[in-house]
Structure formats: structure tokens, C-alpha cells
Amino acid sequence: MTPLDRGREAEFRALVDGKAKPLGALGKLETLAVRLALIAGRPDPRADRVRLYVFAADHGLNEAGVSAYPSAVTAAMVATLLAGKASANAFARAVGAELRIVDAGVDADLSHPDLIDAKVAPGTRNAAEQPALTRAEVDQALARGAELAAKATREGIELLAIGEMGIGNTASAALILHRLGPAPLADCIGAGAGHDAEGLARKHTVLARAAARAQPTEPLDVLAEFGGLEIAMMAGMILGAAEARVPILVDGFIAGAAALAAIRMSPEAAEVCVFAHRSAERGHTILLEALGADPLLDLDLRLGEGTGALLAVPLIRAACGLIGEVASLDDVLQGRI
């Protein structure tokens, strides 16, 4: 994996500056347009074909009550996604994006013609008591995520997006941020899917026990101790996107934890990551700051499923249109339109 070639950055910036608009009038969208052109290596990046992958997996930590919902809800929501009735389905239709559901590690026997079976294991182990994953399982999840990214690009996908479904995965993400941010554990823990005060206190206690059990600092070790299979597989997809030079929209807190792990493994991966939104989940702002990321949207979302990533798709397409389709100010003034 090599860094982006910055040799044409001045060219692309001048191209955007010269459009039929006041200098800087489109703010962050102009910076985004330049980034997309750099990733594509040409002045007319495209995002016509967009595909969101929703990675689903279960978490052994949920045995200790870190979520307000039982693990069985993961499989139920996967079924809802496959039936086309979840929020991600509605949003994908609204923005014209393709949607793929991936079984990364759901603790159930799932069978559906539209389900991508990439299951590494039926969920993780309880990270408060033992490592959540083996290194071999982490490697397998990373490889499968990277393979999906490579396959998508061969199929003509121009923009990838990642989301997740996994009861208990905010707990795993909090531990990953704690170690890789790094950041104080208490600042990383939020209410997740909707804890009351008692449930949140229990979540703090369980995660403190997990953090005291192991103190890894290397990203592969952190994923093994605390990671979910969906988080590791999303990290693999980010690494695969970076290798293929395809931009990837990163959803909220859990997808952000995957991006944090991927970027700590390979800093060049940050160049293809576009952070879709700032989640309302506690810890996400800390994560974004740790990566120096400036998200596109701030809508108080905390659902997951890639919903925030999908809502950012029109902004990506608008940025592509700005650099690739808008007339230059010089052409307008010279009457060449």
C-alpha cells in the first residue's frame, strides 16, 4: 500500500478554484472534490455505483449485560435487512445505492440467497474473561473484508460504504478506542442502543474488567482481545479499499473503530476514508479527533446499519459533479458555454 500521489493536488485545487463560483464558496465540498480526484487520479471522479456493506456479528461481552438487548436481536435485524424493511434499506433506495448484508460472525445459522456468508465464528468470546478472538480469526476476518473490497471494485463499484449490525458492539468499539485512541475508558463508553442508568453502570463495570484483563496497544492485538468480527472485517474492507484506491464512506462509532484499527495498521488507509457523520454515541467525537477526521454530517444519529454513510452519498456525488461537470468561470465570462 503506497500513499496517494500528491503531485496533481495543485492542479486539482486550481481546477476547483476556477469553477463558475466565488473562490471557496462551496467550503468543505471543494476540499472533498480535490480529495476524490486525488484518490481517482483524474479530474473527473465518479460515484455512480455505490455499494454499502452491512457486516453483522455477535459479541460474547453481551453475556455480561453490556447491551440493553439480547444477542438474538442481531439475527432478527439481519432478517429484517434481508427482507428490505430496515432503515438502511429505505435509505439505500432513497440515494440509489446497492446494499449487501454480510454474516461476519452471527451466532445463528443463517441462510438467504442474498446473504454473503463470510462467517469466521459464531460470535466472539466474552472479552471480560478472555480474548474475544484468536489472531488467526482476526487475520481471517481482515482477509475476507479485503477480498470483498477487491471484488466490489472488479464489479465496477466506484464508492464503498461500511455499516454494521451487532448487539453489544458499542462495548467492543469503546475498548478499541480506549487502547488505540488512546483515550480514558470512561470517556469512550456510551449508552449504545439505549441503556438506562443501571445498565450503563453495569457496562462501565464490565468494560473496566475487560480493560484490566489485557493492555494491548498494537492494533492486531487490540482486535484479538476486544474486537468484534464485524469490526475486524470492516477494517479489512478499508485496507482493501486503500489498496484498490477506492473511496470508502465510514459510518458511525463502530465503523469508526474499524477505521481506527485499519489506520493504526496502515496510516495510508486514512487517505481513502471519508467519515460520513458525527454520531451521538459518546466516544465518537474522541475517535474522530484521534484520527484528525472532519465528518460531513452531524445529525445526532446513533443507529448504525450504515445509515449515516448512505445519507452522505449525495454529498460525494455532488463533489464529483463540482470538479468534473461545472463550467469554469473563464468559460462563462468568455461566452464559451
Q: Which residues are catalytic?
A: 305
Q: Give every CB contact of residue 315 below 8 A, 6+ residues apart in sequence.
A: 29, 32, 296, 297
Report the C-alpha gap between 318 and 142 in whole angstroms: 31
Cα 298 from Cα 81, distance rounded (Å): 24
- Phi and psi at 193, nearest 5°, equal -80, 0
Any residues with CB less than 8 A from the CB of 196 and at least 6 apart, and which? 68
Whole-angstrom Cα distance, residue 299 to residue 212?
Answer: 34
CA distances from 315 to 4, 95, 177, 251 (A): 22, 11, 27, 14
Q: Which residues contact 65 (CB under 8 A, 6 or more apart)?
A: 199, 202, 203, 206
- List the one residue out of 146, 121, 169, 109 whose CA is nearest residue 302: 169
